[in-house]
Chain A
């Protein structure tokens, strides 16, 4: 699904990623952990194609093609979804309109028929219920005035609607109450299938109890300094990052 080889990248001519390698196979869930400012969100934005990040070396293959050559929207149309750490507000744009426009843009790009109003309404209701998203929020403007948790749930709703092949969740669990955490995990688990993959960026072991990653990676100083199974997350929870950083420096 996704292969990242020796990726280096700058932001504002400052080197943030210093050689990241990652191989995500179809059906796998990878967790990325790491100290604040280590480059996790940077990696996520580079995968989704945000402007302002300069890739200085390495390559990224997505479904066998050179990802870096695709425009942001093309990546989305081909199934990459990023649940953002800081979801953006779109005042005046109705949440349902946004979802529908987005779905249809993706469908059009795949030469599929647009979804009709009736089927769309049915689908939103269903998905909103499945991720426990308050139906009242559907009628409001996208994220405008939403609470932190509501914004995160909205990201999960969008993910559930768009059914991406590669979903990247950037700290979707941060700032969520326990119930919401479960909901996010359920959203991810619902989507889990042999043809979909996920990268879950998180600071907390707790989420991984619900999600059960196949692999856990530690990103620090712009490099993956340790990879392991889900037990690595437990170890980190208990010991912090200090020992790993020392080992990496040694």
Chain B
């Protein structure tokens, strides 16, 4: 720490080049992190004393930790004292007009078919009042309330449902878990809270989209989803549009708790700004996501399509604590340009007859580097645990890389753990064959890639799957040849 941070400086420069106004608002704390900052955050948010205590404990522990360096990614050191840890959630838009936005970004929005008002919101342009008070969001909340589902911001949950938050927050990802989780636990800005009571099948897909008013949750997002006995919920996070953000470091924590017979399906499409072609200015995405299948027969499924960010470090995991629990992980990760991704999952089998499935598809193009890191651990008491891992890499061009790091730890002899891995290349021959049948090179690549990712796309909710396909096509445009 304290080293001059070239990456950050460059980042700021890019922003200037693109016409961002870096007006510092009165309600933004100056850069730097100490106990006073943690106290200020908690105070500004009007939090109860127990919450402040949780934050302080996490902060003190974080001070004793060091940034991990085992991942297959390289980036200049992050200076944690250069970051501002609190800014007012109702920040003013940074731009007045779409004309001020990077034309390349706009072209991408165009291709993805994003409505103009949404484009503005994503690019950080002032939006119309009509859009800001999306009536659909209100209707949406009403029907959820009828079903007894709580779906609100984390700040609101801390105020309105303190006993739930106190009971569950940090129960899946304790602050001691890792460096970034500790940091998040100390300074998290906001996030999403979901509670599905017993026997309730959530009547609709919960999407962060409907919380666009409160989307400015910043770089240290915290999400907590609790599914009580026999309840079901499907949650969608993210957006196919490349999102600009003035924060370079994102260290989110997501915790899922599934009680007996509950089912949680968590889908992510991540497309944060990856930086320019040299990788400058892109987002560092260091996320801790974990689901706890606490009750017997509970089921947690992670599906992710990751195309954005300069550096991604992310392992959505399942703790299969109950008997007959099921954990699933379906992932597509794309790296191109100078993007780096080290992602994977952990399946921790503790309960008897627990089962897990891992399907990981990594696509690397140009200079992209993609690493899969997966841990399957079967504890001594986990009789008849089963895991199947399928880990496929697809290379486009010959300057990119793919790595696979499977870790398997089995302490029970009845376990069945299978691992399959393949690496393939989009070959000249394949492209020629497709072109000979009338397809353009781009159509050919996107067809081959959709074929490669099919098993994962099948897990996404229908609408999201279509968007994800389009997204992949757009992100890999020009990546061949």
Contact = CB atoms under 8 A, between A and B. Distances in A.
B438 interface: yes
Contact of A94 (B430, B432, B439, B451): B451
Given A72-B432, A73-B439, A77-B438, A101 B451 contact: no
A109 B451 contact: no
Interface stretch (A27-35, A54-62, A81-89): A81-89
Interface string B412-439: 0000000000001001111011111111
Interface residues of B, number: 22
A106 B436 contact: no
Interface in A65-111: 71-73, 76-77, 81-82, 84, 87-94, 97-98, 101-103, 105-106, 109
Contacts, number: 75
A94 B451 CA distance: 7
B435 A72 contact: yes
Contacts of A72: 432, 435-436
B432 A51 contact: yes
Contacts of A92: 448, 451-452, 454
B10 interface: no
A91 B424 contact: yes
Contact of B448 (A81, A93, A102, A162): A93
Nearest to B422: A91
8 contacts: A72-B432, A72-B436, A73-B441, A76-B437, A88-B429, A97-B447, A101-B439, A105-B440
A89 B448 CA distance: 11
A236 B437 CA distance: 33
Contact of A76 (B427, B438, B450): B438
Contacts of B430: 88-90
Interface string B431-475: 011111111110100011011101000000000000000000000
Contact of B433 (A84, A103, A162): A84
A73 to B, nearest CB: 4
A127 B176 CA distance: 64
A181 to B, nearest CB: 23
Contacts of B440: 73, 105
Given A51-B428, A73-B436, A105-B437, 17 more contacts: A73-B439, A77-B438, A81-B436, A84-B433, A88-B430, A90-B451, A91-B452, A92-B452, A92-B454, A101-B443, A102-B434, A102-B437, A102-B438, A103-B438, A105-B438, A141-B451, A162-B437
B447 A101 contact: yes
Contacts of A97: 447, 451
Contacts of B454: 92
Contacts of A98: 434, 437, 447
A158 interface: yes
A158 to B, nearest CB: 7
Contact of B438 (A51, A73, A88, A93): A73
Given A91-B424, A93-B448, A141-B451, A102 B432 contact: no
Pairs of residues from A and B, 10 with the lowest C-beta to C-beta distance, nearest first: A92-B451, A88-B433, A93-B451, A102-B437, A76-B438, A72-B435, A106-B438, A105-B438, A73-B435, A92-B452
A205 interface: no
A90 B434 contact: yes
Contact of B436 (A76, A103, A109): A76
A38 B353 CA distance: 63
A97 B451 CA distance: 10
Nearest to A72: B435
A172 interface: no
A50 interface: yes
A96 to B, nearest CB: 12
Contacts of B448: 90, 92-93
A48 interface: yes
A173 to B, nearest CB: 19
Interface string B228-247: 00000000000000000000
Contacts of B427: 88
A105 B443 contact: yes
Nearest to B454: A92
A162 B448 CA distance: 20
A91 B438 contact: no
Nearest to B394: A92
